[in-house]
Amino acid sequence: MELFDSHCHLEDDAFDSDRDEVIERAVMSGVIGVVTSPIYPEDSIKALKLFRRNRFVNISIGLDVAEYGDERKVEDTLKLIEEYSDDIVAVGEVGLDYRVARTGPPKEKQKEVFRRFIKLAKEIDKPLVVHSLWAQRPVLRLLDEEEVTRVVLHAFGGRKEDVEFAVSKGWIVSIPTNVIRSKNVQKVAEATPLDNMVLESDSPVLAPDPKQRNEPANIKISAKFIAEMKGYNVEELARITTHNAIRVYGLG
Ligand SMILES: [Zn+2]
């Protein structure tokens, strides 16, 4: 069985003591590749140092929405994306977070910065990994306005009609490992056709067991769960979602 973890944070300090073992366990579980998404400039530099020539770990550079009010961090992230455009497979995670808007950057500011990342992703011809907490509808609207074609909706929490809209645009819906315990994620997985689905761990968070640190090997658990839920053979689900990930990220 060949699985792919379409979104995680392997440069996170949570993996500093045993990163190699975590990757080893992923390989042993059938994971053939991952996309790691640093969301702070210093983490992006760390990820580039750790994984730039790695054949298993691909990098996507983004910025935490909570930092969109910090122009220096926005500029630094845009510069890193441009400078290392040959070493990354995507831009993100970037997007909108209206929970963060209550205390952090307001909605209009978030949209302005999100548009700058979209513009750069188009310029360097990379897909977007999109964060959309409490803002699924506004994110879909903005992506549509900007006519973005290659999109991974990371840990998407929208309604059935939002999933249908995303699918009608050919965008990819990424289902996280907490699908086994979240009714809302299960609804999204139910509504998403396999041809538009990828799997992600979002490690170190969103573990199948909320008390544990998450890791890419756990994709095996969510693959089995979703296959049973949707009435597919797990090998077939693995094959299709891995193929989707390789296609949207443009991996060889
Ligand atoms: Zn994430």
Per residue in 26-78, pLDDT tens?
999 999 999 999 999 999 999 999 999 899 999 999 999 999 999 999 999 99
Domain count, the chain: 1
Cα(202) to ligand 1 centroid in Å equals 5
Cα(200) to ligand 1 centroid in Å equals 9
CA angle 173, 63, 193 (to 5 degrees): 0
CA atoms of 45 and 80, how far apart (whole Å): 8
Give yes or no for a contact between 80 and 113, defined as CB atoms under 8 angstroms apart: no
Cα(239) to ligand 1 centroid in Å equals 23
Which CATH number characterizes residue 70's domain?
A: 3.20.20.140
Q: What is residue 252's predicted lDDT score, i.e. its pLDDT? A: 76
Q: What is residue 190's predicted lDDT score, i.e. its pLDDT? A: 98
Name the burial class of residue 186, with classes exposed (0-12), middle (13-18) and buried (19+) by CB atoms within 10 angstroms of its CB. middle
Q: What is residue 57's predicted lDDT score, i.e. its pLDDT? A: 98
**Owner of token pair 């831009």:** 91
Cα(232) to ligand 1 centroid in Å equals 27
Cα(70) to ligand 1 centroid in Å equals 20
CA atoms of 155 and 130, how far apart (whole Å): 9
Range of the domain at 145: 3-248
Low-confidence ranges of the chain (pLDDT < 50): none
Cα(138) to ligand 1 centroid in Å equals 19
